[in-house]
Structures are given as C-alpha cells and as structure tokens.
Structure 1
Amino acid sequence: MAQPVFDLDGHPVINGGSYYIMEYMGSGVELAKTGNETCPLSVVQSSSFGSTGLPVKISSMLRTPFVTIGRVDLSFTGVPDCATTPSGWTVVEGLPEGSVVKITGYENTENGHFLIEKASFRNIYKLSFCIVGKLGCGTIGLIKDDKQNDLLGVTWDYAFEFVLVKTDDQPTSSSA
C-alpha cells in the first residue's frame, strides 16, 4: 500500500489540494524573474524569511483521495498575466545555473516527472525529478543565480526539504 503524504498538521494531503511548500524553519516557494525573463517564470524560494510563498496545487497521477509518496504534478494556483496557463512545474535544461524548475511555457524542457519523497523527519519531504529514459532521478535543491535568487533546480547535493502547509482554498470533493 502506498504511503500517504501528510501536511504540517499531520493531515493527509488532499489530491488536487492547495498547499504552501515551505522549507522547514524557512520560507515558501514563489515565482521570480531570473536571467533575461520579462515575466516571472522561475520557481524560487522566497527571500523573505517566514513568507509562505504562493499556493501550489499538488496532484497525484493515481485516482485516490489523498496524495501518496511517488509521482506528483505541481502547479501554482495562480499565474501572472504575462505567463501561459496552466502553470505546471517543469525542468528546463541548458541554463547557466544548470537544470532549473520553471513553469510551463519555457523552451528546452526536460521530458520527465516529479517525485515526492520522505526526507529526514516526520512530515518533512523532498522532491526529485526523473528524466524519461534515464536511470536515476536528480534531487531538487537550491541553486544560487547571479542575483542571489535561490532557484529550485536539479542537484546531486542537498535536497530542498519542506513541509506542506494547507491553504484556506481546498477542493470541496476528494477527486483529482
């Protein structure tokens, strides 16, 4: 049986529910303009300590009421007017920082998927990104860019470990 994912309060994460992804004892994730972007398309950790960041919809590929350890789709619940929709997370290769997490609408995206996995302690998780046709998955960690933004990106080092904090905007049914 698949192991459920729990939010910070110990409740199972609702499949298709909206949560803040926050570093434990840190801040959440949000969008920022990086490099030559004219629209914020990069997934970064907020530079404001304690900020919740932006709400993220977390969906399992399985038709279950709750998210389980394994493959997930991630998307921000809202996007800037300049961005394409939907706002699904993807990994873009070939950038100066390496392979980093962006929202859809970017060129050079990797064909792959995200995995949510248990990290170090109770209700603390990490993400990995698995490229189709390649063995192994890369850990999602923080990568500094030239403007000191903390980009989420594929690393082989330290994972970005986080908790899930439920938002007030939850689906009324448990269907994904």
Structure 2
Amino acid sequence: MFSAIPISICQPSPTQVRDLDGNLVRSGTKYYILPVIRGMGGGVTLASTRNESCPLDIVQANQEVDNGMQLTFTPVNPKKGVIRESTDLNIIFSGASTCLQSKVWMLEEYDGQLITTGHGVAGNPSQETINNWFKIEKYEDGYKLVFCSKVCDLCRPICGNIGVVIAKNGSRRLAVNEVPFKIMFKKA
C-alpha cells in the first residue's frame, strides 16, 4: 500500500549580499558603492555626462577619497529586508540633486551606449519599468552590478554587466560594458 505524502521542493534562497564589514546589506539602509580596486576613482554619484547640465547620469567619482552619494536598495518584493544576489532591485540615491529628476537608477540608450542614469521610477515591476531594475552578483573578491531584469515575463531585455566607460567629457560613466565595475558596499 502506498501513501501520498506531499513533498515540497524548496529552492534555496539566493546568497545574501554583505557590506565591507561583513554585515548583511539591508533594504532601506543607506550605503555607498565603492570600487574594490583603490586608486582607480571613488564611489558612485550623479553628474552631468552629456552636452547639457541635466539630466544627471550615474558615474564613478574621479577622486578616490570621494565616497559618492548615499543610496538605498529596494528589492522587487519590498517586504524583504535583506538584499540577495541575483534578485531584481531598484537603486535609489539619497539627498538633493542639482536637477529636478528622480534619483532612481535606470538604463537608457544615449550616444550609442546603454548608460545608467538617475531618472527612473521606483517599484511597479512591469514592462514599463523594466529599465529600472538591476541585480547585484558576486564577482571575484567583490560584487558587480548587472542589468538583466526578470520583472516582466514577456520581455527580453538586453543583459550585461555594468562597467565604467569614459564619456566624451572625461567622466567615468556607468554603462553596459564587457568589463564589470568590481564594487563593495559601505554602510553610510
């Protein structure tokens, strides 16, 4: 005689992201994104990289001593308190900006590149917001940011690493690039 015993197949949760001190990176907590390799620029911030002063794009600060702007991470499920690898999330700068624009990261095409800029929309995972979702993935002795959102089942986004690309004005713009920007997170 056979008995039916329900078996639940559980997928393990993705690995939790950790900050520079080894603590869990948490949703809503302010952090700096810093390069793992020192001497190659500072943290991540907003700056003008185009021919006009606005909109502002996401760049790496030129000076190593500049931590950049504080930011927070919000996972696709905002009830989750811990940020996990390879899960969709919004990245949102804190503080004031010289331009009247959102400070939510998004990917857009500009001058033949897919660049990160600061005028996205937080939340509302859908086809309309697919360019506003990024992922953190383990990369060697640090992490990297990846654009490859899964918030829309029918969408087929272009996927790629976020790396540093030198813009025409010399700024260190974050854009889709073969070489990822190796980063770490420091609690603000």
Which of residues 60, 63, 68 is equivalent to 2:75? 60
1:149 equivalenced with 2:171 (yes/no): yes
Which of residues 121, 139, 143 is equivalent to 1:119? 139
Distance between the aligned counterparts of 1:154 and 1:25, measured in 2?
19
| Larger strand fraction of residues | 1
Structure 1 vs Structure 2 CA RMSD: 2.2
* Equivalent position of 1:20 in the other structure: 32
Equivalenced residue count is 160
* Equivalent position of 2:125 in the other structure: none
Note the alpha carbon deviations across 1:14-51, whole angstroms, 9 max, x for none.
11111000001331011111112323611100001232
Q: Which amino acid aligns with 1:68?
A: R
* Equivalent position of 2:180 in the other structure: 159
Which of residues 72, 75, 80 is equivalent to 2:89? 72
Distance between the aligned counterparts of 1:105 and 1:73, measured in 2?
9
* Equivalent position of 1:47 in the other structure: 62
- Is the contact between residue 37 and residue 182 of structure 2 (CA under 8 Å) also seen in structure 1? no
Which structure 2 residue ranges, 5 or more long, are not aligned?
A: 1-12, 122-127
Distance between the aligned counterparts of 1:47 and 1:97, measured in 2?
23
Which structure 1 residue ranges, 5 or more long, are not aligned?
A: 168-176
Which of residues 111, 115, 118 is equivalent to 1:96? 111
Note the alpha carbon deviations across 1:28-79, whole angstroms, 9 max, x for none.
0111111123236111000012321110111212322211112111010123
Q: Which amino acid aligns with 1:137?
A: C
Tell me the SS of whatever aligns to 1:111: helix
Tell me the SS of whatever aligns to 2:136: strand
Q: Percent identity?
A: 29
Q: Which amino acid aligns with 1:127?
A: L
Distance between the aligned counterparts of 1:105 and 1:7, measured in 2?
25
Distance between the aligned counterparts of 2:107 and 2:67, measured in 1?
22
Q: Which amino acid aligns with 1:126?
A: K
Calculate the TM-score normalised by the size of structure 1.
0.82
Q: Which amino acid aligns with 1:116?
A: I
- Higher RCO (C-alpha under 8 Å, 6+ residues apart): 1
Q: 1:55 to 1:97 in 2, by over 3 A?
A: farther
Q: Which amino acid aligns with 1:25?
A: I
Deviates more, 1:59-68 or 1:97-106: 97-106
